[in-house]
Amino acid sequence: MSIAVLYLTGDLAVWHVLIATAFNAAFSRFQWPVYSAVTTLLVPKAQLGQAGGLVQICEAISQLISPAVAGAWGRCSWVPGVDRAGVSTGYRVSLLCAVCSFRLWDYDRRSL
């Protein structure tokens, strides 16, 4: 978000991007272990194999498709609103979808 603000104000420099990338890389290392642990807490033991397979296939698909989608999104200058600000909006929409799907998912809180 701060990178977007710096870009929109015209103050974005290379070192801003480097610091943001380093910050993202450092803290994204914690995401996978926590994600795996939460999956095992939320899924019943009888379905852990299926959930593990689904998590792995979703991760693989996202790694395969996301660069192509990002490239296509960035090159769609003929679509109004799809520029760097449009990409930032796409990120916010995907984050909102993820949060909403988690909030709407019906799980038994007593099992946590």
Question: What's this model's pTM, rounded to 2 decimal places?
Answer: 0.47
Residues 73/81, Cβ–Cβ less than 8 Å? no
Residue 112 has pLDDT above 50, yes or no: no
Cα separation, 36 vs 53, whole angstroms? 12
pLDDT band for 106, please (50, 70, 90 cuts).
Answer: low
pLDDT tier, 36 (very low <50, low <70, confident <90, very high otherwise)? confident
Q: Report whether pLDDT(12) > 50.
A: yes
End-to-end CA distance of the chain, in Å?
32
Please give the average per-residue pLDDT across 47-61, as a whole number: 83
Domain that holds residue 58: 2-111
Query: Does 6 score more than 60 pLDDT?
Result: yes
How far is the C-alpha of 81 from the C-alpha of 110, rounded, in Å? Answer: 45
Counted residue by residue, the chain has a size of: 112
pLDDT in tens, 20-34: 888 888 887 887 788
- In degrees, rounded to 5, the angle at the alpha carbon of residue 66 between the alpha carbons of residues 84 and 8 is 10
- For residue 84, the model assigns a pLDDT of 67
**Tally of structural domains, the chain:** 1
Mean pLDDT of 97-108: 70
Assess contact for 39 and 54: CB atoms under 8 A. no
What average pLDDT does the structure give for the chain?
77
The pLDDT assigned to 101 comes to: 73
Q: Is the pLDDT of residue 109 over 70?
A: no
